[in-house]
Amino acid sequence: MNKVPVLSNFCRCLSRFFKKLLNLVTMRRLVTRIVNRVLLSEQFAPVMGTEAEIHSQARRKLVVGLGNPGMEATRHSVGMAVLGALAARLGVADRWRGDKHVSGEVIVSEVQHTHVVLLRPKLLMNINGVSVAKAAGKYGIKSEDILLVHDDLDKPLGKIAVKHGGSARGHNGVRSCVDCLQTDVMPRLRVGIGRPAGKTSVERHVLGRFTSEEQKILTSVLVQSVDLLLSQLSHQDSQSPTSPVGGRRAAQKRKERDCSAPPAQDSAAADG
């Protein structure tokens, strides 16, 4: 006879718990958005010297490796690893230099007559967008010409995909970029890192380093990711049509292209 009141109390407690959780998530996003706005309000010097030459060209692109500074070897910062591999392929790996005006490290290079700016934000993942927006403003690069490289929990290690705009899909770094640039048209190279196995939390998984078995697969992933990036950068026509600031293409179905890295000797193993 007491089952109904007990169940009712349980449901009320559960409801309160989820409301508090929702409020916490909402509050964290609000605080992050405020931080984005405050950091973006800082002024930076105009482009000078050789960097000014990039503004005289009709085509310029920005490639960003999203991640956490000082944690480049973790799964969450695999975008930075891909960018490092791209710089090495272009023969400019020794040209990284800090730029306080964009809160990051940059390299200005060229791929088939297209000026390319490589950017490694020096801000935490949740506010990477501040660095991206500042770099886009400094170098005069359109949002649709900004290529974000980031990790993807929903794809296993060894899988990569190009996505032409759309929602952040829960990725805090991409969400920060969308918020700061006020548009979601940026193409992305999504690099699979897989979900954790067993009782390992998502946070521990993404902030952890790749296992020795995963490193074997990662080597192939970096090679194929750079191949795909160079293919994207070589296209003279934008991959996605120009969109007004804040515009979303909900009515237009975006296409994704999935790629697989060459298989390693063993399958990828997540940390236990």
The answer to whether the beta carbons of residues 63 and 149 sit under 8 Å apart is yes
Catalytic annotation on 76? yes
Residue 154 CA to residue 76 CA, distance in Å, equals 13
Q: In the sheet where 146-152 sits, what is the strand order?
A: 97-99, 104-111, 114-121, 60-65, 146-152, 187-192, 159-164, 256-260
Cβ atoms within 10 Å, residue 109: 18
> Is there a contact between 189 and 162 (Cβ–Cβ < 8 Å)?
yes
Selecting among 55, 76, 115, 150, the annotated active-site residue is 76
Dist CA 133 CA 100 (whole Å): 13
Catalytic residues: 76
